[in-house]
Amino acid sequence: MVSPSASLLSSLRWLFGFLFFSSSMVEIPPAENFSNPLASTQFRTAYHFQPTHYWMNDPNAPMYYDGVYHLFYQYNPNGATWTAYMSWGHSVSTDLVHWTGLELALTPSDPFDISGCWSGSATILPGNKPVVLYTGLDTVGRQVQNIAYPKNLSDPFLREWIKPNYNPVIEPHQKINAALFRDPSTAWLGKDGSWRLTVGTLIDEGGLAIVYKSKDFMKWVPAENPLYYTNGSGMWECVDFFPLKEIQGATKYLLKVSMYDTLHDYYVMGTYDEERDIFIKDDASSDDCRMWPMIDYGRLYASKTFVDEAKQRRILWAWSNETSSVADNVAKGWAGIQTVPRVLSVDTDGKRLIQWPIEEIESLRREQIHLQDIELKTGSQVEVRGLKVSQADVEVEFEFQNLTGAEPFDANWVVDPPKLCREKDAYANHGGIGPFGLLVLAADNLEENTAVYFRVFRAEGSYKVLMCADQRRSSKKSELYKPASGGFVDIDVKKDGKISLRTLIDHSVVESFGGGGRACITSRVYPTILLNDNTHLYAFNYGTETVKISELKAWNMAPAQIS
Ligand code: DQQ
């Protein structure tokens, strides 16, 4: 990363101070003002980004500009619930870990966004000029696409944004349902000199991404073909489309769609036909986007990526919604966090997406635990002691001697991994190889715990690795959404002889990366024991075959400074 200049850092420090004293800023109610101050603070994340109070959802227009990272986000400045009348919150950072909150960047103000400023993306135009495109809800509730520019490019924090009066720049045409037309992507420049972007919508129950083209970034016309379309999938939100890697002279692209019907983000890789402006998915992937792998099999939605020019990497931000009730959210005075920014890469064969927490997050690692060569015989449970386990980063590698004890795999199981997690859980249903993994945020008697675990099955000519995060016992409180989440980890377990798991625990979030980031599961949990800070972390193996922890490293995490 280009190291931020001293003047920039001192400006950020100044800004931290300013935030506490300025009366022109949004007032920050102290936690005691919320009707459940204990829940407000105990479940608050220490190093996952969240605003000081109230409701946040999608990440918007993340970008790196002149030494500063910007994160905008869907924000309700009036309460801890979602409203159509959204604004854009704005925070800046020089390291993606510590954040300073600024004034709202966009608020409903003009006929083209008077009913809400919804999600959008940033593009850096030639001459190093940032611009954002976002969805506005206009006077009659139509979803239209608008542009906004920074008022003053010499302000390192780009605090003020101007909405030109030629907005909206894209309006829904006749075939489009004006209530389902949103979330413009970052634009890309074609070889023909025209800009392109894509907007998600729904036609005849099928989700699609429509491409728009422009020579001047003001007048946009729809391309002849959609970038991609899937029958019967429901509305596509927050479509992201970008080149990921050069493989044997060809560019591998990734298409990501947030599916409104399931509230999960799905991706597929393939190539881009620039002449026809269409995406061609790789042959091996299903035609049906509901069968594509998920960015995360847990509580993650509306993800968005940006290119970090400082470190030449692509980073993904994503919203992790609460699983508590609206009443609980109102009582604790806030709702919604961002997952830790993840660096995206692709396996050497170009088939799997790999996600890994940004290395900067490791700067928060403090006291370390290091364990090696621990045999987990059947039914064993080993406590990892000496950590503050509600705010930790845990990396563990599980190794097996052989795979002969693996249970047979039924091919029908591929369609519903969460069901498999429920049926072959970490509690009553002990198998051959697995369940083994971690019990996090666990009470003394295990009455409360979140199980993050694997099971290995023997399939036709290969092995299938199931990864689950079971939240059904995460809290004794009943009025919570407590699913078992799961997906398959695409690794060659026979060749590797081991599986890795990294879990970021941060009060009410458990964010896990299986197989080096080939499958991810984020859970939102609210254990009642957390309120007494009496939590434990265990490694366990309830399979019949012995599993060895070849190495376990875990760190207490310092809190990030997020104002
Ligand atoms: N959230 C925004 C929309 C987007 C949805 C509104 C996805 O622009 O489609 O808050 O969570």
Which pLDDT tens digits describe the chain residue by residue (563 residues)? 233 343 443 344 333 333 332 333 445 566 677 888 888 899 999 999 999 999 999 999 999 999 999 999 999 999 999 999 999 999 999 999 999 999 999 999 999 999 999 999 999 999 999 999 999 999 999 999 999 999 999 999 999 999 999 999 999 998 899 999 999 999 999 999 999 999 999 998 899 999 999 999 999 999 999 999 988 889 999 999 999 988 888 899 999 999 999 999 999 999 999 999 999 999 888 888 889 999 999 999 999 999 999 999 999 999 999 999 999 999 999 999 999 999 999 998 888 999 999 999 999 999 999 999 999 999 999 999 999 999 999 999 999 988 999 999 999 999 999 999 999 999 887 889 999 999 999 999 999 999 999 999 999 989 999 999 999 999 999 999 999 999 999 999 999 999 999 999 999 999 999 999 999 999 999 999 987 778 999 999 999 999 999 999 999 999 999 99
Nearest to 555 by CA among 499, 504, 501, 500: 504
Domain hosting 217: range is 53-240+255-264+295-337
Are 186 and 63 part of one and the same domain?
yes
In this structure, the residue with its CA closest to atom 9 of ligand 1 is: 237
Atom of ligand 1 nearest to the CA of 319: 11
Inside any domain, residue 20? no
Q: At 548, which helix (H) or strand (E)?
A: strand 547-557
Q: How far apart are CA 532 and CA 443, in angstroms?
A: 10
Inside any domain, residue 385? yes
Q: How far apart are CA 436 and CA 456, in angstroms?
A: 10
Q: How far is the CA of 112 from the centre of ligand 1 (A)?
A: 17
CA 39 to mean position of chain CA atoms: 23
Q: How far is the CA of 449 from the centre of ligand 1 (A)?
A: 32
Contact by Cβ (8 Å): 265, 289: no
Burial 263-281 (b: 16+ CB within 10 A, else e): ebbbbbbbebeeeebbbeb
Inside any domain, residue 372? yes
The pLDDT, as a whole number, for residue 534 is: 84
Six-digit token string for 297: 């099999």
Give the CATH number, domain containing residue 154: 2.115.10.20
The pLDDT, as a whole number, for residue 30 is: 67
Are 301 and 374 part of one and the same domain?
no
Are 135 and 199 part of one and the same domain?
yes
Q: At 493, which helix (H) or strand (E)?
A: helix 493-496
Q: How many C-beta atoms lie closer than 10 Å to residue 173's C-beta? A: 11
182 lines ligand 1 (CB under 6 A): yes
The pLDDT, as a whole number, for residue 131 is: 98
Are 304 and 419 part of one and the same domain?
no
Inside any domain, residue 351? no
Contact by Cβ (8 Å): 200, 217: no
The string of DSSP codes covering 389-429 is: TTEEEEEEEEEES-STTPEEPPGGGGG-HHHHHHHT-SSS-
Residue 172 identity (one-letter amino acid): P
Are 82 and 189 part of one and the same domain?
yes
Dihedral sign, Cα of residue 358, residue 361, residue 363, residue 369:
negative
Atom of ligand 1 nearest to the CA of 183: 8
Burial 307-340 (b: 16+ CB within 10 A, else e): bbeeeebbbbbbbbbbbbeeebbbbbbbbbbbbb
Six-digit token string for 97: 């870990």
Inside any domain, residue 220? yes
Inside any domain, residue 347? no
Are 391 and 323 part of one and the same domain?
no
Are 521 and 397 part of one and the same domain?
yes
The pLDDT, as a whole number, for residue 29 is: 64
Inside any domain, residue 183? yes
Q: How far is the CA of 467 from the centre of ligand 1 (A)?
A: 29
Q: How far apart are CA 236 and CA 239, in angstroms?
A: 7
138 lines ligand 1 (CB under 6 A): no
The pLDDT, as a whole number, for residue 221 is: 97
58 lines ligand 1 (CB under 6 A): yes
509 lines ligand 1 (CB under 6 A): no
Are 163 and 59 part of one and the same domain?
yes
Place of tokens 């080993």: 382
In this structure, the residue with its CA closest to atom 7 of ligand 1 is: 302
pTM (2 d.p.): 0.94
Looking at the structure of the chain, the number of domains it has is: 2
Are 323 and 204 part of one and the same domain?
yes
Residues with Cβ < 8 Å from 95, sequence gap 6 or more?
1, 4, 69, 360, 363
Do strands 334-335 and 54-65 pair parallel, antiparallel, or not at all (unpaired)? Answer: parallel
Are 333 and 369 part of one and the same domain?
no
Q: How far is the CA of 149 from the centre of ligand 1 (A)?
A: 21
Place of tokens 């870990």: 97
Atom of ligand 1 nearest to the CA of 238: 9
Are 193 and 331 part of one and the same domain?
yes
- Given ligand 1 and candidates 54, 55, 107, 118, which is best to mutate, with the most ligand atoms within 8 Å of its CB? 118
Are 405 and 320 part of one and the same domain?
no
57 lines ligand 1 (CB under 6 A): yes
Inside any domain, residue 32? no
Give the CATH number, domain containing residue 465: 2.60.120.560
Is 58 considered catalytic here? yes
Q: How far is the CA of 184 from the centre of ligand 1 (A)?
A: 11
